[in-house]
């Protein structure tokens, strides 16, 4: 397999605080790669650097051989990004939302209609294409946001907590679409999540971040075998590698909880 994402000694400092510190990760083409860690571990900061929304303080990364610092415009053409914050306009239809994103991504006019139809049908939104988005369910909104991000057929798709705030049925529906993106389009996906079951089901490999650094990286099965005990789950693995985070990093907890609950309300 070829490496589509290579992160080399990547770091981001805010004042004296290193949100991301000496990060080194390689992601293979076609895999679903999970980036896990407690709130404040540096996951979202990492994604913002990789999607060129935030400049690194140290190090760099390449995506499809394009450098995120020197070739940012080219990087943006080969990646898609679904953030935690709402990226769909509730006062427009699903089709209209996609049309705006297609123009932002410079989708060729001759392919426009086919791309929009394909994205809507692929995400199970064909019948809701011309309905106002504020009347969508939370799961439908999330699927629309993923449809927006795949219009230009990115080689690497970033999903920042793609199922936060969704009920179990909607969550598993999104899981199915994520798996289909990989199998049908050969898309590489990097996702963050706080749902360990989600990571176990979807991810080929997982990196666990703790205080801005990767403390473990391997397949879910290998990570579980690294922790002593019977019937070890990814929850156990997460607690093993990040166990002191909540006791010592409470300063960011309230803000993170508030953000998560706001996201849950808008998707609920």
Please provide the DSSP assignment of 199-265 as one string: HHHH-SEEEEEETTEEEEEE-HHHHHHTS-SSS--HHHHHHHHHTTHHHH-GGGHHHHHHHHHHHHH
- Specify the pLDDT at position 10: 98
DSSP 3-state of 35? strand
> 161-193: b or e for each residue (b if 16 or more CB lie within 10 Å)?
bbbbbbeeebbebbbebbeebbeeeebbbbbbb
Residue of 180, 234, 236, 242 lying closest to 34 (CA atoms): 234
Residue of 138, 150, 211, 154 lying closest to 177 (CA atoms): 150
Separation of alpha carbons 77 and 72, rounded Å: 9
Indicate whether 159 pLDDT > 70.
yes
- Specify the pLDDT at position 225: 95
Q: What is the pTM of this model?
A: 0.86
pLDDT tens-digit map of 7-30: 999 999 999 999 999 999 999 999
**Neighbour count for residue 68 (Cβ, 10 Å):** 25
- Specify the pLDDT at position 243: 81
Token output for 11: 């770091």
Indicate whether 226 pLDDT > 70.
yes
What is the fold, at CATH topology level, of the domain defined by 29-51+80-267?
A: Rossmann fold (3.40.50)
């Amino acid at each position: 397999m070829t490496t589509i994402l290579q992160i080399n000694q990547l770091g981001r400092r805010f004042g004296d605080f290193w949100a991301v510190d000496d990060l080194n990760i390689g992601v293979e083409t076609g895999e679903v790669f999970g980036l896990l860690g407690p709130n404040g571990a540096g996951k979202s900061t990492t994604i913002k650097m990789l999607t060129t929304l935030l400049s690194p303080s140290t190090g760099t990364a390449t995506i499809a051989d394009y450098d995120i610092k020197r070739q940012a415009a080219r990087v943006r053409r080969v990646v898609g990004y679904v953030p935690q914050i709402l990226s769909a306009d509730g006062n427009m239809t699903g089709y209209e939302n996609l049309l705006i994103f297609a123009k932002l991504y410079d989708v060729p006019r001759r392919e426009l209609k086919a791309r929009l139809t394909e994205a809507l049908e692929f995400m199970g939104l064909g019948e809701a294409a011309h309905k106002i988005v504020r009347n969508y369910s939370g799961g439908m909104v999330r699927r629309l946001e993923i449809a927006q991000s795949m219009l230009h057929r990115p080689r690497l798709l970033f999903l920042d907590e793609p199922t936060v705030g969704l009920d179990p049925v909607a969550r598993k529906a999104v899981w199915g679409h994520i798996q289909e993106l990989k199998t049908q389009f050969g898309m590489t996906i990097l996702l963050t999540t706080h749902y360990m079951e989600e990571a176990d089901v979807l991810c080929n490999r997982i990196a666990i971040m703790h205080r801005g650094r990767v403390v473990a990286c391997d397949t879910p099965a290998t990570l579980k075998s690294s922790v002593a005990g019977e019937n070890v789950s990814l929850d156990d693995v997460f607690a093993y590698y990040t166990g002191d985070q909540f006791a010592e990093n409470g300063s960011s907890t309230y803000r993170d909880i508030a953000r998560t609950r706001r996201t849950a309300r808008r998707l609920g």
